Amino acid sequence: MNIEVGVADNDEQAALADAVRRALARQWTSDERQKRISDPASVTERPLWATLTELGVPGLPVPEDLGGSGGTWSDLGVALEAAGAVLAPTPAVGVAGALGALEQRSGTDAARLRTGLVTGATIATVAWADETAEPVEARTDGAGAQGNTVLVTGGRDLLLTPEADTVILLATSGEGPLLVAVETNAEGVTVQRHDGLDLTRPTGTLILRGALATVLAAGETAVAAERRSRVAGGAALANELVGAVAHCLAGAVSYAADREQFGRPIGAFQAVKHRCADVLAALELARAAARAVTALLDDAGADPDALDDAVALALLQAGRALHEASNGYIQTLGGVGFTWEHEAHLYFRRSGASAAFFGGADAHLARLDPVAAGAAKPPTFTGPAAELAAQVDALLPAHRAKWGDDDSFAARLDWQRTLHAVGWIAPQWPTEFGGKGLDIVDQVRCDNVLAVRGAPALAGVLGVNNVAPTLMHWGTPEQQQHLAGIQAGTEVWCQGFSEPGAGSDLASLRTKAVLVGEGDDREFVVTGQKIWTSEGMEADYCLLLVRTDPDARPHKGISALLVPLDLPGITRRPITQITGEGGFAELFFDEVRAPYSRLLGPLHGGWTVTMTTLAFERSGVIMMAGRLEQEVREAVDELSGRDLPSGVRLALTDRLVEARLLGALGERALGRIAAGGAPGPEHSVIKLAWSLASTHLGETRLAALGPDAVTAPVGRAARHGYLLSRASTIAGGTTDIMRNILAERVLGMPR
C-alpha cells in the first residue's frame, strides 16, 4: 500500500496536497535536510514558506474578499499534513495562529497584518503562554499619541518561529487584557534562538523591555481572539504531526518488506506486523481528530468550548501517535535507525519537542477531564433524529415502569415492538420495504439518540441490521416477505457463520449441504455444527452458511440458506458466558432438509452474499463507536459524589479520549460514505480501536469503585461490565486477526 500523506477529502484537496508534495520534494531534499541539521543555526523557515505562499497556502482559510484564497481551514490542514511528513521547516503553526487571532478583526492594523501574512510579505507567530508563565504587562504612558499602541514588558520562554517579523500575544493592562502585535526589529525586543531538540523546527525565547506594540483587540474580544489563535495554531500542529506519523509508518513498512532475517522479510513476522498495525490505528485516529478541528474552525457557529476540546483531543492523539510511530520506526530499523545519517531520529526529535507545545499532554488531559467538566451538555438533535428523540422521550418512561433495569431478551424485544408500533424500527430501510429511507448519516444520528437516552438495545438487531439488507439485495420476492416480521419483532434471526475450528476464517467452514432430488422437489440435506451464534436460542430463523461444493476452492463452494430453526434434526444448546448469562448458542444440524427455495443468492455464491452481509456491518461498527462515549459518561455518573484519586480521574479521562477519538473516526468514515467514496482503512481501525477501548472501560469502571466494586450493590453494573468487556477483543474477529488484516491487506506487508 502507498501510505498517503496529505490525505484529501475532495479533488481540490488532492491537487493541493500533490502540489505541496512536489514543491517540497524539489526544494527540501534529503541532502539539503542533512546539510542543514549539521548546522542547526542555518535552518530557516523562510525559503520553504515562500514556496508554499506561491501555492496560496497561507491564504487558504482567508476569504477572497479579504485577499485570501477562499479555501478552508480543512484545506490548510491537508497542506500542512503533506509538509509535516517531510519535516519541512515552515512558520505554519505560528502563521495559522496569527490568522486565527485576526479572523474576526476588521481594523486597519489587523487588515494590514493579515494581508502581509497572505502575500508572504510578513511572517508572524503567536507567543502563547502556559499556566506557569508570567503575564506580559502593557502600559500606555509614553506610548504615543494615537491611542492604539502600548509599551509591553515581559517575555515568553518558548516561541515558535523566532525569525518572525511580528509576534502576537495577550498582554495585561490596568484596563484589562489586550491582544497586541510587536515587531521583532523594534527597540526593546530581543529574540534568542534556542539550541533545541528539534533540529528542523527553530524555537526561541522572547524578551520584551518596554517595546512598542500595536493593540489589535481589548477586553473579552482580545481573550476570544487569543483563544481562537490557540485552536488554529494547535490544529496546524496536529495536522503536521499526522503527516510525520504517516511518513514514519511508510518508512517502517518499506524497510520491513526489504530487510531479510532468518530467510524471510522481517515484515512477515507477526510482531513487526502488529507494531505497524497499531501505528496505522494511531495514525487514522489522529488524522480524524485533526480534521475534526479544522472542520469546526470552518463552522462559523461552532461552540468555543467544543473547539477547545477538539484541539486538545487532536494534539493529544497526534503527539501520542508520533511518539509511537517514531519509536516504532527506529525499532523496525534496528541499529540503522540509531544513526545520525538516517532520518528516523529527526522524527523522534520532533515527537519529543512537540510534546511541550500548547501546554503538553497534561494540559490536554486536564481540559478533557470528564469529572472536572461535570454534566455534559445534552446534544441537540435535528431532522429525523429529533423526531425519534421525541418518540423515545414519550415511550421510554412506560417501558422503564414495566421492566425497570431488566435487560433480558424479552424486555428488549418488547421495546423493539414498541418502537415498531410508532414506525421507528429500521428507519434506514428503503421506503418500499417499510423504512424511512434514511441515509447512513441519519441512521447513525438516530442510533445516537437511543444511546444518549439510555434506551434498550434491540433484541433482533442482527435481523434488522445484517440479515434484512442482505434479503433486500439477494432475496426473491417470496424470501423478502420475511422483512415485515423482522421489522415488527415477530421474527428473530441469527447468523450461522462460526464453527469449531472456523471462527474468523469463514473459508474453512465444514458444515455441508448436499443437494438431492430433481426439479421443484430439490432440497438441501444439511449436516454440521455452528457455534457462538448470537441469539441462537431465541431466533426463529438462521442465515446459514454451508459448503455445497466440497471440490471447489474454499471461498467458491459456499452457499447461503435461510433455515427455519424448528426443522427436524436441529438441536440448540446454550453457551453460558463468564457473566453467567446466555446470549450464544451451539447449533447442530443432523441431516436437516431445507427446500431449494431456501437458497439465498446463487448456488455456490454464498461468499459473495456473505460479503454483502458483512458490508452492512460498517454502520453497526460506527454506531458502536458512537455509543462508547455515552458509556463513559454513565461511568462518570456512577462515581458522582466520590472523592476520586488522581489516577482514577486520569483513567476516566483516557476512556473519554478513546471514545471521542472513535467518534471522530466514525464521523470521518460517515463523511466518506455520504460523499460516495469507498471505505478507507478507518473502518478496520474502528473495530480494533473499539475492541480495546471497550475492554479498557470495563477495567476502569471496576477499578474506580474500589472495594465497592467487589461486593456492594452499587458495583453490580461495574462487575457485569468488567466481565462482559472481555469479549470485546474476541467477538466479530479477534484483535490479533484484525492487526494481521490491517498489516497485510491495508499496509501490504508480506504474509
Active site residues: 617
What SS3 class is residue 485? helix
Give CA–CA dist 708/237, Å, rounded. Answer: 43
Residues 6 or more apart in contact with residue 387 via CB below 8 angstroms: none
H or E segment and range at residue 528: strand 523-534
Question: What dihedral angle (degrees, nearest 10) is formed by the CA atoms of 459, 463, 468, 474?
Answer: 180
Give CA–CA dist 611/89, Å, rounded. Answer: 46
What SS3 class is residue 681? coil
Residues 6 or more apart in contact with residue 619 via CB below 8 angstroms: 428, 440, 443, 444, 465
Residues 6 or more apart in contact with residue 335 via CB below 8 angstroms: none
Strand partners, 180: 169, 215
The residue whose grid cell reads 430463523 is 541
CB atoms within 10 A of CB 70: 15
Joined grid coordinates for residue 607: 461468499
* Cα-only R_g, the chain: 29
Give CA–CA dist 510/530, Å, rounded. Answer: 9
Question: What dihedral angle (degrees, nearest 10) is formed by the CA atoms of 453, 457, 460, 466?
Answer: 90
Strand partners, 208: 154, 189
Give CA–CA dist 681/284, Å, rounded. Answer: 8
Measured on CA atoms in the order 114, 119, 122, 123, is the torsion positive or negative?
A: positive
Strand partners, 502: 499
CB atoms within 10 A of CB 725: 21
With 0-12 / 13-18 / 19 or more C-beta atoms within 10 angstroms meaning exposed / middle / buried, residue 161 is buried
Q: What is the DSSP string of 347-361?
A: HHHHHHHHTTGGGHH
CB atoms within 10 A of CB 127: 27
Give CA–CA dist 348/197, Å, rounded. Answer: 10
- Residue 524's alpha-carbon distances to 200, 534, 566, 589, 610, in angstroms, are 68, 24, 16, 12, 19
Give CA–CA dist 238/289, Å, rounded. Answer: 9
Q: What is the DSSP string of 427-461?
A: TTS-GGGTS----HHHHHHHHHHHHHTTPPPPTTH
Helices 270-297 and 73-85 cross at an angle (nearest 10°) of 150
Closest CA to 617 of 521, 690, 726: 690
- Asked whether the beta carbons of 1 and 749 are under 8 A apart, the reply is no
Closest CA to 215 of 130, 155, 138: 138
Q: What is the 3-state secondary structure (H, E, C) of 380-391?
A: CCCHHHHHHHHH
